[in-house]
Structure 1
Amino acid sequence: MSSRSWAGRATRPLAVGLGLGLAASALTLTTTTAAYAADPVDVTIVGINDFHGRLLPARDAGGAAKLASAVDSVRAAHPNTIFAAAGDLIGASTFESFIQQDKPTIDALNEAGLDVSAVGNHEFDQGYDDLVNRVMKPASDANPYGGAEWAYIGANVKMRDTGSDALEPTYVQTVGTGDQAVEVGFIGAVTEHLPELVTPAGISEIVVTDIVDEVNAEADSLEAAGVDVIVMLVHEGAPKASCTDIAALGADTDFGSIVKDVDSSVDAIVSGHTHLAYDCKIGSAEAPATLRPVVSAGQYGFNINRLSFSVDPASGSIAGVDTELINVARTAEPFPEDAAVKKIVDDAVAVSDELGAAPLGEIAGPFTRAKRADGTTENRGGESTVGNLVGEVQRWATGTDIAFMNPGGLRDDIIGLAEGGYPATVTYKQAAIVQPFANTLVKMGLTGTQLKSLLEEQWQPDGSSRPFLHLGASDGFEWTYDPTAARGERITGMWLKGEPIDAGTTYSVTANSFLASGGDNFGTFAAGSNPTDTGQSDLQAMVDYMEEFGSEAPVAVDYAQHSVGVSFPDDAPATYAAGDTLAMDLSSLLLAPTKDVAGLSDDEVEVFLAGRSVGVFDVDNTVVSDVADENGTASVSLTVPAYSGSPDSVRVVGTTTGTEVEVPVAFEAGTDAVVEAKRRPKGAIKAGKRLKVTAIVTIDGEPASGEVTLTGSGVDKTIELNKNGKAKTKVGPFTKGKHTILVSYGDFSDLLRFQVR
């Protein structure tokens, strides 16, 4: 029991319990004896959300010890204080908590005196059974990693077979005594998107029902029971932090329906899930003139919400409410660290340091998640170097054609021990922080048609708090898309190792167990053929990969984009011929950078037609998109030169990063020869390494015969075309710097550009 249990808790059952080993009633009343003010009574709620086991203070986290002190400061000023939360207290945690199954976080919040919390989606990361039979059960020798002493509530979580409550829906606590007593009721709810956010197998026993319907029903019950103040704790939140924007949300959106349609008998809405901080007062559709608090503390214990109600204990009416967003991490007049909580944190750090210090290998540079314009907040809609790395790691570990990684499963960047620069060592702790969910890797078959459907699912259902989720992808898989096209029609081309994806061909694909079961609305994964769970964890795959590739030489960062946006003018012709103007807008040319972390980007892209360079165009690398992947743009406009054959695409090449994608474009039949040069690897290569070059020559679409010549960068070589019009050779090694090789077939040629590091 927390040392703050001086409040003197006592419970009395009102109804038959759920048989879950939880509190014995569907509505638990807890009485807290505390000093109280004269009539009216001051009743204060301290709210947090999305703590995610952030035990230590950081740039975006207050730290558990300061959080406890901040809560105590409110208790000192407002004795009738209840400490409440809106979910995601555990799960997706930092290593100090994760390595001990979040037991240190449970202990720290117990010590801080947390009273009640809604369940969040991350409370279900290890499944419903783990939540109710480990986290929520008392700690013991048989249950060493459990012991949450606060009430977890969720009115819209039901048993699948019976429809009965899977968790207590409400929690009621009485503050004050005698004629100064005020009853405060809490109704919990979790996002209706829970089935998309956790492994479905882990919640097969339960269903998630409509938030508004369940909360309104419970509010009616609390009113009938004479509860004075009703507070909703909901793990769902606003897509933007502006109170004006929140008030303008439509009733057809996830959070707008809550703000508008939850009964006016609910006096405040404490929210979470989207990790944004806001302190608003907004009226409901039922009573628009009655403004009630709609608040969120952001994330990681960086802030707390304070809501202080002035309540007439005789009538139960609320005379007023004062709210405040308090910064826990403030540097001016900082909160001291609570000694008891600090001891819990220090012990957790000691354990994690010992377990996490093992080196795995070296990296040549930082692997980062996509960031928003501030350079620090993650953007799950952006392509990232760490997402693509994890995709490649999992493809390698399972031996498949392609692997994908969901951005929400990446909880940190891989920076390494980079105090002295790069190369830098990556430790077990750092790898574990990035992927803390212990998912297993699942192999399956997906056709080319299914791959297109899968990529279309990156655009999430209308009303989602994150409208776009960019999948990380393994090496060699690329695609183009039209950001202006209609839903389901945006993917315009896909390639694997330079070859177009065939709609009817089945490709072997790997995804983690969360994605494989349809998580994050990627339902196509669940329709894959012959799914096989390898039993290998995502973390173990990274450990093995670093041992294989990072022990003798550092793993290089690939800055090439796997996906590029392409849109054409409305009046663009169906086919192009020599002399026509070809115009298109390119996007997603930039891996949105992390503040103070160096990376590569393209200042220019070069466009090739039939193996011939037809123009170089500037790239605008201003970060403008916070929810999608449209950063890094270029406007292309060129006059189509004479060409041979019937090209069906132009090639776009980033002059620095090695980004290289084919853009589907139809051309009328031309003449003469077409030379196409390809290289492996596609990105930058290491000094002293050789390059594999393939030349393909056609005339009027038919394989050519004869010889091709390679010249430049110390290369002077002639090779014979085979019967398919192809020639392959190895060239090099090369010194550091930028290099070009001209691949010629008579008067026709293609130019290879590459960088050596």
Structure 2
Amino acid sequence: MRTSPPSSESTPTGGRRRVRGAALVGVAVSALCLGTLTAVPAQAATTTIDILGINDFHGRLAQETSPTAGAAVMAGKVNEFRAANPGNTLFVSSGDNIGASTFTSFIQDDEPTLDALNAMGLDVSTPGNHEFDKGQDDFNGRVTANSEFPYVNANIYETSTGERAYDPYFVKDVDGVRVGFVGAITELMPELVSPAGVEGLEFRDIVDSVNDAAAELTDGVETDANGEADVIVLLVHEGNASAAEADATGDSQFADIAKNVSPSVDAILSAHTHQTYNFTDIVPTGGTKPRPVVQTGSYGANLSHLVVQYDDVTGEATVTSSLVPLYQSASPDPTVAAIVTNAEAVAAVEGRRPVGTITGDLLRAKQLDGSENRGGESTLGNLVADAQLAATVENGAQIAFMNPGGLRADLRYASTGDATVDADGRVTFQEAAAVQPFANTLVVSTLTGAQIRQTLEQQWQPAGSSRPFLKLGVSEGLTYTYDPTAAAGSRIGDITFEGAPLDEAASYKVTVNSFLASGGDNFTALNGASAKADSGKVDLQSQVDYFAANPSVSPDLAQRAVGVTAPVAPEGGYEAGDTVEYSLSSLLFSNGGPTTGTVTATLDGVEVGSATIDGTVVSTTDEQGRAALTVTIPEIAAGTAAQTRQLLFTVTGTGTTFTAPVSLAAVAAAPVDPTDPGTTPPVTTPGGTVPGTTPGTGTGSGSTPAGTVRNADGSLAFTGQDGLGLGALAALALMLAGGSALVVGRRRRLRATASSTDG
């Protein structure tokens, strides 16, 4: 159970907020007691401290298109602040400095990025999840050894000892004011990195852990193991799901942090969700005034800027916040610029090697604002799944899934610069590496059809997750429908594998990267595989090999998952002429391919409905490409039993096809006239010439009496008369009766003879 955060009244201000004021009063009293007239040295009334922050830099060393400024410009901007407030300016990070980096940094294991941050004079950082991409041993060893700044974290504990795994905070003395930085990381770490890489670590509740650390910094006791701070800033690698302040005050995990971290924490610098916000109206529980809650976006687009006004007499701190855009905002720092230049030179040698060609853009899904949407199906995600399946077919793989967070860049058809190195359509090693920079291995797991269904259901993330939906890339051959309006756990509809329904009881070999195989991104069903075999093949190499085997790759515009919502059929099923409304979605990609089109429904090859597709992009989920299609049930043959049939839907220009069931009612057999031995109803003629005959031909006269009943072909209908008079009928009846009597009498005599011989 969470402990209540200390209130502002319970904060021991004598040890934290009023130290310097108390010292001044003490000096004055001592002077009076000594009876001296020595003047007390003048003290500044307020100390101003600038705190600059970054988050999710991800090794973006070079300047790119706006808003990515590059490391040298970032350093130049930090230099400007330091020049304006020398000695009182701090530079900090909320994590993910490295990992998921561009090729320039990736190709040298992000060491150029650490060199650049060292040159900038980064004062402190909390680790993000990507600092653990290669496991805790790599972070504790290589990463920290190459970092000339401390890492702090208060909520990672060692399971074996129950002790904190890292220093929970770092205190910096700035002109006599002690500024404490407490670190924390998302509690979802075992889902975000390979669980094997963080085995033995426990990621505890952020609020409780931070409040414990803040209490230590404000308890008035200062020892080697217990620091004290006048100002506290939280560096937390967790963030709001959107740029809306309302989301940070609701029921999400981050709202819990924003509201319930102790009011003794003066500001929160957040990270992880790559959102840009500066919230200034959130009053913490137990507090009396709002505090800044800030995130800079990502990739060095902005600096967060906290201005701390510390009253040297009262010991009270006032903190204001803003965001500082970085793109082309300052002169590049020459030292950092040289680090970037050297890194680019190393990367250029290997990076220019071509690995394949594409005929069009292969892109990630996008949001309405153009940023990446990890909840949307993408041509790039499906391609990478295809590549990973191809790499492991020899290992028995049949299906592959790719997590959207593992796709860090698009593959563009247009040249990125020098056409002699990167012509239109050419894919270089550097471009391929930018897509998949994590160096995960491919794992082939044995899953039942039911576990595959569960995996697809887990695309809808648990409540409180920073992203509510994560769309898996799916290899060719596997398609499925889903109902976005259905209850959790029952959204996935029909799953088809290689043209046939997926067998829920059968076992399949499924390839995923090592991150997903261990249950990353909350795909716990993948961690429940009955068998796992690490192929030892790296994800990036599988992409390179795929291009080698397929020298010219085109984006596949066919959706492999489509949303279908249909009403409940009436009891007995639909009848001819009934209409059925189908709500369809995910008919188009949000990024690349047609932006509108038509979807058509057919039944047994006959069109029964069509609709225009709305191509408006939908953020967060996979619902773009929507259509409301009305199906009109056609005539059904008489005598057909009630049945469920499959409607075939086709999207023009994309290759997308899918089916959906429709329940049809039974149709009664056509009524039959018991007096008619034929199949054609009789026709009564008015007399005269029989239709279709000529008078005077054939054996008859070619005319009939009025009222004669004939079949449609002109033959006489069976009426009991058929042209014979009553007398003739009576004579015929007597003859038949006599004949019958003869036959019966003869049979009786034969039986009598037979009986006598048997005896």
On whether the aligned pair clears a TM of 0.5, the verdict is yes
| Mapped contact 2:171–2:179 kept (Cα < 8 A) | yes
Match of 2:238 among 206, 217, 236: 236
Specify whether residues 599 and 499 from structure 1 end up closer, same or farther in structure 2 by C-alpha distance, changes over 3 A only.
same
Specify whether residues 213 and 172 from structure 1 end up closer, same or farther in structure 2 by C-alpha distance, changes over 3 A only.
same
- The equivalent residue for 2:645 is 648
Match of 1:43 among 39, 45, 49: 49
Note the C-alpha offset of 1:312.
2.1
- The equivalent residue for 1:152 is 151
Q: Which amino acid aligns with 1:655?
A: T
| Mapped contact 2:572–2:666 kept (Cα < 8 A) | no
Per the alignment, in what secondary structure is the counterpart of residue 90 of structure 1? coil
**Would you tell me which structure has more strand in proportion to its own residues?**
1
Q: Write the deviation string for residues 549-605 of structure 1: whole angstroms up to 9, x where unpaired.
A: 11xxx1111011111111124676673333221111001112112xxxx53355101
Quick check: 1:68 aligned with 2:75?
yes
Give the Cα separation in 2 of the matches to 1:510 and 1:538.
Answer: 11
Per the alignment, in what secondary structure is the counterpart of residue 504 of structure 2? coil
Match of 1:340 among 335, 339, 355: 335
Match of 2:349 among 332, 347, 354: 354
Quick check: 1:198 aligned with 2:200?
no
Note the C-alpha offset of 1:111.
0.5
Match of 1:559 among 549, 557, 560: 557
Note the C-alpha offset of 1:74.
1.5
Q: Which amino acid aligns with 1:396?
A: A
Give the Cα separation in 2 of the matches to 1:671 and 1:358.
Answer: 70
Quick check: 1:83 aligned with 2:83?
no
Quick check: 1:658 aligned with 2:655?
yes
Give the Cα separation in 2 of the matches to 1:198 and 1:101.
Answer: 17
Per the alignment, in what secondary structure is the counterpart of residue 623 of structure 2? coil
Give the Cα separation in 2 of the matches to 1:37 and 1:82.
Answer: 22
Mean Cα displacement is larger for which, 582-591 or 408-417? 408-417
User: Which runs of 5 or more structure 2 residues have no equivalent in the other structure?
Assistant: 1-41, 223-227, 670-759
Give the Cα separation in 2 of the matches to 1:430 and 1:669.
Answer: 59
Quick check: 1:272 aligned with 2:271?
yes
Give the Cα separation in 1 of the matches to 2:43 and 2:353.
Answer: 55
Which structure has the bigger radius of gyration? 2
| Mapped contact 2:104–2:347 kept (Cα < 8 A) | yes
| Mapped contact 1:601–1:657 kept (Cα < 8 A) | no
Q: Write the deviation string for residues 64-99 of structure 1: whole angstroms up to 9, x where unpaired.
A: 001111111122222311111110110000000011
- The equivalent residue for 1:15 is none
Specify whether residues 37 and 438 from structure 1 end up closer, same or farther in structure 2 by C-alpha distance, changes over 3 A only.
farther
Give the Cα separation in 2 of the matches to 1:411 and 1:558.
Answer: 19
- The equivalent residue for 1:682 is none
| Mapped contact 2:600–2:651 kept (Cα < 8 A) | yes
- The equivalent residue for 1:515 is 516
Specify whether residues 213 and 572 from structure 1 end up closer, same or farther in structure 2 by C-alpha distance, changes over 3 A only.
farther
Mean Cα displacement is larger for which, 575-584 or 217-226? 575-584
Give the Cα separation in 2 of the matches to 1:255 and 1:199.
Answer: 23
Mean Cα displacement is larger for which, 162-171 or 608-617? 608-617
Specify whether residues 169 and 656 from structure 1 end up closer, same or farther in structure 2 by C-alpha distance, changes over 3 A only.
same
Give the Cα separation in 2 of the matches to 1:574 and 1:185.
Answer: 71
Per the alignment, in what secondary structure is the counterpart of residue 292 of structure 1? coil
Mean Cα displacement is larger for which, 76-85 or 110-119? 76-85
- The equivalent residue for 2:381 is 387
Q: Which amino acid aligns with 2:631?
A: L
| Mapped contact 1:156–1:208 kept (Cα < 8 A) | yes
Q: Write the deviation string for residues 117-156 of structure 1: whole angstroms up to 9, x where unpaired.
A: 111111110111100111001xxxxxxxxx1111111111
**Residue correspondence of structure 1 range 135-214 to structure 2 within 5 A:** 135-137=143-145, 147-176=146-175, 181-214=176-209
Per the alignment, in what secondary structure is the counterpart of residue 343 of structure 1? helix
Per the alignment, in what secondary structure is the counterpart of residue 396 of structure 1? helix
Quick check: 1:402 aligned with 2:399?
yes
- The equivalent residue for 1:446 is 447
User: Which runs of 5 or more structure 1 residues have no equivalent in the other structure?
Assistant: 1-35, 138-146, 673-757
- The equivalent residue for 1:132 is 140
- The equivalent residue for 2:461 is 460
Quick check: 1:630 aligned with 2:629?
no
Give the Cα separation in 2 of the matches to 1:573 and 1:516.
Answer: 44
Count of aligned pairs between the two proteins = 608
Q: Write the deviation string for residues 3-31 of structure 1: whole angstroms up to 9, x where unpaired.
A: xxxxxxxxxxxxxxxxxxxxxxxxxxxxx
Match of 1:615 among 609, 615, 626: 609
Match of 1:667 among 664, 668, 681: 664
Give the Cα separation in 1 of the matches to 2:313 and 2:125.
Answer: 28
Per the alignment, in what secondary structure is the counterpart of residue 219 of structure 1? helix
Give the Cα separation in 1 of the matches to 2:270 and 2:668.
Answer: 65
Specify whether residues 305 and 285 from structure 1 end up closer, same or farther in structure 2 by C-alpha distance, changes over 3 A only.
closer
Q: Which amino acid aligns with 1:194?
A: M
Note the C-alpha offset of 1:666.
3.2
Q: Write the deviation string for residues 312-337 of structure 1: whole angstroms up to 9, x where unpaired.
A: 2344311x22322100015xxx3111
Specify whether residues 316 and 600 from structure 1 end up closer, same or farther in structure 2 by C-alpha distance, changes over 3 A only.
same
**Would you tell me which structure has more helix in proportion to its own residues?**
2
Q: Which amino acid aligns with 2:404?
A: P
- The equivalent residue for 1:369 is 364
| Mapped contact 2:601–2:648 kept (Cα < 8 A) | yes
CA RMSD across the alignment:
2.0
**Residue correspondence of structure 1 range 267-306 to structure 2 within 5 A:** 267-287=266-286, 289-306=288-305
Question: Which gives a bigger RCO, structure 1 or 2 (Cα 8 Å, sep 6+)?
Answer: 2
Give the Cα separation in 2 of the matches to 1:67 and 1:462.
Answer: 36
| Mapped contact 2:612–2:627 kept (Cα < 8 A) | yes
Specify whether residues 572 and 427 from structure 1 end up closer, same or farther in structure 2 by C-alpha distance, changes over 3 A only.
farther
Note the C-alpha offset of 1:285.
4.2
